[in-house]
Chain A
Amino acid sequence: MDVELIRQLMELMASCHVCELEYEASDMRVKLRRDGASPPDAGKASQVALPDLAFGGTEAPELREGEVAEPEVAVVKSPIVGTFYRAPAPGAEPFVSTGDYVTVGKTLCIVEAMKVMNEIESDFDGKVIKILMEDAQPVEYGQPLMWIEPA
């Protein structure tokens, strides 16, 4: 993945006040969207591990630029390959939502692998500032799932 290219695209979007941009080349596809009007500092995006755009081969995860993390943001990563679930059962309340405060050991989500529901617990006390995956999306090992701002 070409991080430099993405950074350039992000800078271009900011300078031209573009809110959404899709870019496709032979080996990558990326969709960028700017939320809100806060002038972004594109350089900060590199401080967060970006989701692997190649995964799944079809739909690329979105990088929301307006909410670039602060340097101290904690990234919750998937410890296994599987399917990401926000709630314990279909239709149930999600374990956490953006803005929630969580404590160490709190279940944040489930990654299901081979029909085993693996509860992913928080290693941090802090505020959930971003949930990076949609419900029922496949995730790979090491894939960022959430951003938590440690308290």
Chain B
Amino acid sequence: MFSKILIANRGEIALRIIRACREMGIQSVAVYSNVDENSLHVRFADESVCIGPARNDKSYLNITGIISAALVTGADAIHPGYGYLAEDPGFARICEDHKIKFIGPSPKLIRLMGDKAVARATMRSLGVPVLPGSDGEVEDAKEALDIAAEIGFPVVIKASGGGGGKGMRIVHDKDDLPRAFESVQGEAGAAFGNPAAYIEKYVGEPRHIEFQLLADEHGNVIHLGERECSIQRRHQKLIEESPSPVMTSRRRHSLGSIATEAASKLGYTSAGTMEFLMDPRGQFYFLEMNTRIQVEHPVTEFVTGVDIVKEMIVIAAGEKLSLKQSDVKFNGHSLECRINAEHPETFAPSPGEITACNLPGGIGVRVDTSIYKDYVVLPYYDSLIAKVIAHAPTRNEAIARMERSLEEFVIEGIDTTIPFHMEVMKDSEFLAGRFSTAFVERFLGKARAERERKGKRVRTAHSA
């Protein structure tokens, strides 16, 4: 087992990893930018090293600084968390070169899954269902037109180097296709340094459902069930839950088997997530694979009781998974609300000092956060400031528990998305579990109309 792990991240996920290290008796090293001096990950790690100024490219993306910090502190492994360097195969390779264990899959697999066109082709060859579309990359607009004619419009053009909703365009008509194809290529070249693009059939109003996988170096691969992540705004997840309201145990078993078999054939190791689209007819299609810990991992931890971060560390140390598939039991229902430092209606970022803070608690509630009273939410970094996770025997009870947790959660001094989540918890479509990735847009439209109606009534009352 490792004696010391450096955490190449900040915020709540850095703290989450430090907690796992402490419970496992492993020393932890925090790295931080000079504006993060008063962060909790710096406070609770055994050691801390300032690696650069505020700008991400000079600090949390500064590979030289992070490796150097690991070398001078004698860390024998690095956990990258999510975002930043978590899916950078070059970083994973450099860790290897310096005999520092990268806690994640091999650089080869990170690269393979990072190229979304190659990942799609690979999964298809392994028997995982994919949407109708191109076999890997598409050369030019002419080839794109041929494929689109075959699979039928609408289609979606995606950048191979993209993922997570970045670098994609929906095309409804063949006349628009050549221009859309070329603009995706151009944008992808500029944004990802890789102009390659591919085509898939476009699915309207899908659900986004993903499977959590764990695989060790001894060939053991298990899944921890699914997470429903359809509540998104501009491809950013806002609410996740497990199980999905539309999943049956038979379907979970069959999709879980497809996912674990594919991961096994790939020789995948560490934690990973296979994302699927579910079309309105209930068919599942592989979307992409994330080769890291996910923000929403706590809902799976609540329903399975498995500590995913600890398992990642165990796997990286070359040990066997602590459980088999038959040991995985699903218990109750769990929801997560991502609390962002953003205006609850406009989602405009709201950095600043937190002048009052009360965290929710009580039975079945977990809060993963790095905020405290007097903490200053910095404008340089992600707006996620807390995750509230609730667990209860049934979905309805979990929603009630989430609602009262959000009521208890007091943050003053900045805007947060807590009021947005409180409204969603009361929404009839949400309560019924009838929603798709189009939910948030529709919900916000309804809320806007409601505000305008109320505004009118007030004005009418004044004029009367």
Are A80 and B64 neighbours in the complex by a CB distance under 8 Å? yes
Q: Which of A114, A140, A141, A142 contacts B71 (CB 8 A)?
A: A114
| Segment at the interface with B among A50-58, A64-72, A90-98, A127-135 | A50-58
Are A81 and B47 neighbours in the complex by a CB distance under 8 Å? no
- Nearest residue, chain A, Cβ from B27: A57
Roughly how many angstroms separate A57 CA and B6 CA in the complex, as a whole number?
14
Main secondary structure of the interface of A (DSSP, over half): loop
Are B64 and A141 neighbours in the complex by a CB distance under 8 Å? no
| Segment at the interface with A among B49-57, B219-227, B247-255, B362-370 | B49-57
Roughly how many angstroms separate A57 CA and B72 CA in the complex, as a whole number?
12
B394 CB–A CB distance under 8 Å: no
Enumerate B42-84 residues with CB–CB distance to A below 8 Å. Answer: 46-53, 59, 64-65, 67-69, 71-73
Q: A82-B72, A114-B98 are in contact. Are A141 and B51 (CB under 8 A)?
A: yes
Counting chain B CB atoms within 10 Å of each CB, which of A113, A116, A138, A140 scores highest? A140
B48: which A residues are within 8 A, CB to CB?
A: 54-55
Are A80 and B49 neighbours in the complex by a CB distance under 8 Å? no
Give the distance to chain B from A6, nearest Cβ to Cβ, in Å: 17
Are B67 and A114 neighbours in the complex by a CB distance under 8 Å? yes
A116: which B residues are within 8 A, CB to CB?
A: 64
Are B34 and A81 neighbours in the complex by a CB distance under 8 Å? no
Q: Which of B34, B46, B98 contacts A141 (CB 8 A)?
A: B34
B47: which A residues are within 8 A, CB to CB?
A: 54-57
A141: which B residues are within 8 A, CB to CB?
A: 34, 49-53, 59, 65
A82: which B residues are within 8 A, CB to CB?
A: 68, 72
Are A83 and B72 neighbours in the complex by a CB distance under 8 Å? yes
Contact-residue bracket for chain A? 10 to 19
Give the distance to chain A from B40, nearest Cβ to Cβ, in Å: 13
Are A80 and B65 neighbours in the complex by a CB distance under 8 Å? yes
Enumerate B12-57 residues with CB–CB distance to A below 8 Å. Answer: 34, 46-53
Give the distance to chain B from A85, nearest Cβ to Cβ, in Å: 12
Roughly how many angstroms separate A79 CA and B72 CA in the complex, as a whole number?
15
- Nearest residue, chain B, Cβ from A83: B72
Are A57 and B53 neighbours in the complex by a CB distance under 8 Å? no
Are A80 and B68 neighbours in the complex by a CB distance under 8 Å? yes
Are A142 and B65 neighbours in the complex by a CB distance under 8 Å? no
Are B98 and A81 neighbours in the complex by a CB distance under 8 Å? no
Roughly how many angstroms separate A54 CA and B366 CA in the complex, as a whole number?
30
Are A143 and B67 neighbours in the complex by a CB distance under 8 Å? no
Are B65 and A81 neighbours in the complex by a CB distance under 8 Å? yes
Counting chain A CB atoms within 10 Å of each CB, which of B50, B59, B68 scores highest? B68
Roughly how many angstroms separate A81 CA and B47 CA in the complex, as a whole number?
14
Roughly how many angstroms separate A138 CA and B74 CA in the complex, as a whole number?
11
12 extra interface residue pairs, beta carbon distance < 8 Å, beyond A114-B71, A138-B72, A142-B50:
A55-B47, A55-B49, A80-B64, A81-B52, A83-B72, A114-B67, A114-B68, A114-B98, A140-B51, A141-B34, A141-B52, A143-B50
Query: Which positions in A face B, CB cutoff 8 Å?
Result: 52, 54-57, 80-83, 113-114, 116, 138, 140-143
- Chain A to chain B contacts (Cβ below 8 Å), 16 pairs: A52-B50, A55-B47, A55-B48, A57-B47, A81-B50, A81-B65, A81-B69, A83-B72, A113-B64, A114-B68, A114-B98, A116-B64, A140-B50, A141-B50, A142-B50, A143-B50
Query: Which positions in B face A, CB cutoff 8 Å?
Result: 34, 46-53, 59, 64-65, 67-69, 71-73, 98
Interchain residue pairs A-B with the least CB separation, the first 6 = A138-B72, A113-B68, A57-B47, A140-B50, A81-B68, A141-B50
